[in-house]
Amino acid sequence: MSRSGYSDDCENVQLWRGAVRSAIRGKRGQKFLREMLDALDAMPDKRLITDDLVNDGEVCAIGSVGIARSLRMDDLDPLYPHMIARRFGIAEALVQEIEYVNDEAGWKADSPYSRWCRVRAWVSAQIKEPKP
Protein backbone atom coordinates (compact mmCIF):
# COMPACT_ATOMS: atom_id res chain seq x y z
CA MET A 1 0.00 0.00 0.00
CA SER A 2 1.22 3.48 -0.78
CA ARG A 3 1.55 6.35 1.67
CA SER A 4 -1.05 8.33 -0.25
CA GLY A 5 -3.66 5.62 0.25
CA TYR A 6 -4.73 6.09 -3.37
CA SER A 7 -5.86 3.01 -5.23
CA ASP A 8 -7.45 2.04 -8.54
CA ASP A 9 -10.84 1.97 -6.81
CA CYS A 10 -12.58 5.07 -8.15
CA GLU A 11 -15.54 5.09 -5.77
CA ASN A 12 -16.45 8.67 -4.82
CA VAL A 13 -13.52 10.01 -6.84
CA GLN A 14 -15.31 13.30 -7.64
CA LEU A 15 -15.93 13.95 -3.94
CA TRP A 16 -12.30 13.19 -3.16
CA ARG A 17 -10.94 15.40 -5.93
CA GLY A 18 -13.19 18.19 -4.63
CA ALA A 19 -11.71 17.77 -1.15
CA VAL A 20 -8.19 17.93 -2.62
CA ARG A 21 -8.99 21.07 -4.66
CA SER A 22 -10.53 22.70 -1.61
CA ALA A 23 -7.51 21.83 0.55
CA ILE A 24 -5.10 23.24 -2.04
CA ARG A 25 -7.06 26.46 -2.63
CA GLY A 26 -7.83 27.13 1.02
CA LYS A 27 -5.93 29.55 3.23
CA ARG A 28 -4.14 26.81 5.22
CA GLY A 29 -3.25 24.90 2.06
CA GLN A 30 -1.88 27.95 0.28
CA LYS A 31 0.16 28.93 3.33
CA PHE A 32 1.55 25.40 3.60
CA LEU A 33 2.40 25.20 -0.11
CA ARG A 34 4.25 28.52 0.06
CA GLU A 35 6.13 27.24 3.09
CA MET A 36 6.91 24.00 1.24
CA LEU A 37 8.25 25.90 -1.77
CA ASP A 38 10.56 27.87 0.53
CA ALA A 39 11.65 24.67 2.31
CA LEU A 40 12.36 22.89 -0.97
CA ASP A 41 14.38 25.84 -2.25
CA ALA A 42 16.35 25.99 1.00
CA MET A 43 17.43 22.35 0.80
CA PRO A 44 21.22 22.17 0.41
CA ASP A 45 20.90 18.90 -1.54
CA LYS A 46 17.95 19.04 -3.92
CA ARG A 47 16.87 15.43 -3.39
CA LEU A 48 13.60 13.88 -2.21
CA ILE A 49 13.00 10.40 -0.88
CA THR A 50 9.85 8.29 -1.14
CA ASP A 51 7.87 6.24 1.39
CA ASP A 52 8.96 8.17 4.48
CA LEU A 53 9.10 11.68 5.92
CA VAL A 54 12.74 11.53 7.00
CA ASN A 55 15.33 8.80 6.61
CA ASP A 56 19.02 9.21 7.43
CA GLY A 57 18.82 12.98 7.01
CA GLU A 58 17.00 12.81 3.69
CA VAL A 59 13.39 13.99 3.39
CA CYS A 60 10.26 13.85 1.29
CA ALA A 61 8.42 17.07 0.36
CA ILE A 62 6.42 17.18 3.59
CA GLY A 63 9.52 16.26 5.57
CA SER A 64 11.29 19.30 4.13
CA VAL A 65 8.70 21.50 5.86
CA GLY A 66 9.12 19.52 9.08
CA ILE A 67 12.87 20.14 9.00
CA ALA A 68 12.33 23.84 8.28
CA ARG A 69 9.93 24.04 11.26
CA SER A 70 12.21 21.89 13.46
CA LEU A 71 9.31 19.50 14.05
CA ARG A 72 9.70 16.12 15.61
CA MET A 73 8.71 13.56 12.96
CA ASP A 74 10.21 10.29 14.19
CA ASP A 75 6.93 9.38 15.91
CA LEU A 76 4.84 9.88 12.74
CA ASP A 77 3.91 6.80 10.73
CA PRO A 78 4.00 7.72 7.02
CA LEU A 79 1.04 5.36 6.43
CA TYR A 80 -1.25 7.45 8.66
CA PRO A 81 -1.90 10.74 6.86
CA HIS A 82 -4.31 11.91 9.56
CA MET A 83 -1.41 12.01 12.04
CA ILE A 84 0.72 13.99 9.60
CA ALA A 85 -2.16 16.36 8.85
CA ARG A 86 -2.67 17.05 12.54
CA ARG A 87 1.04 17.68 13.18
CA PHE A 88 1.41 20.02 10.20
CA GLY A 89 -1.97 21.74 10.57
CA ILE A 90 -3.28 20.91 7.10
CA ALA A 91 -6.09 18.82 5.62
CA GLU A 92 -5.60 15.08 5.33
CA ALA A 93 -6.55 15.32 1.64
CA LEU A 94 -3.61 17.68 1.07
CA VAL A 95 -1.23 15.31 2.87
CA GLN A 96 -2.34 12.41 0.68
CA GLU A 97 -2.12 14.46 -2.52
CA ILE A 98 1.42 15.65 -1.70
CA GLU A 99 2.43 12.07 -0.81
CA TYR A 100 1.03 10.89 -4.14
CA VAL A 101 2.89 13.61 -6.08
CA ASN A 102 6.10 12.90 -4.15
CA ASP A 103 5.99 9.10 -4.33
CA GLU A 104 3.92 7.99 -7.29
CA ALA A 105 3.26 10.73 -9.86
CA GLY A 106 6.62 10.40 -11.62
CA TRP A 107 8.50 7.56 -13.19
CA LYS A 108 9.48 4.66 -10.99
CA ALA A 109 13.09 5.33 -11.96
CA ASP A 110 12.97 8.99 -10.87
CA SER A 111 16.25 10.05 -9.38
CA PRO A 112 15.99 11.90 -6.07
CA TYR A 113 16.96 15.10 -7.90
CA SER A 114 14.41 14.68 -10.71
CA ARG A 115 11.78 13.96 -8.04
CA TRP A 116 12.72 17.23 -6.31
CA CYS A 117 12.38 19.11 -9.63
CA ARG A 118 9.02 17.52 -10.41
CA VAL A 119 7.59 18.10 -6.92
CA ARG A 120 8.85 21.68 -6.80
CA ALA A 121 7.22 22.41 -10.16
CA TRP A 122 3.93 20.91 -8.93
CA VAL A 123 4.01 22.91 -5.69
CA SER A 124 4.78 26.11 -7.57
CA ALA A 125 1.90 25.48 -10.00
CA GLN A 126 -0.56 25.05 -7.09
CA ILE A 127 0.21 28.39 -5.49
CA LYS A 128 -2.25 31.14 -6.34
CA GLU A 129 -0.76 34.52 -7.02
CA PRO A 130 -1.40 36.98 -4.21
CA LYS A 131 -4.27 39.33 -4.87
CA PRO A 132 -3.15 42.91 -5.70
What does 18-76 look like in DSSP terms, one character per residue? Answer: HHHHHHHHSHHHHHHHHHHHHHHHH-SS----SSSSEETTEE-HHHHHHHHHT---TT-
CB–CB of 77/83 below 8 Å?
Answer: yes
Cβ-contact 118, 102 below 8 angstroms = no
**What per-residue confidence (pLDDT) applies to 1?**
43
Is residue 132 predicted with pLDDT exceeding 70? Answer: no
Predicted pLDDT of residue 131: 52
What mean pLDDT comes out for the span 27-48?
97
pLDDT > 70: percent of the chain: 87
pTM here is 0.86
pLDDT tens digit string along 53-106? 999 999 999 999 999 999 999 999 999 999 999 999 999 999 999 999 999 887
pLDDT score, position 18: 83
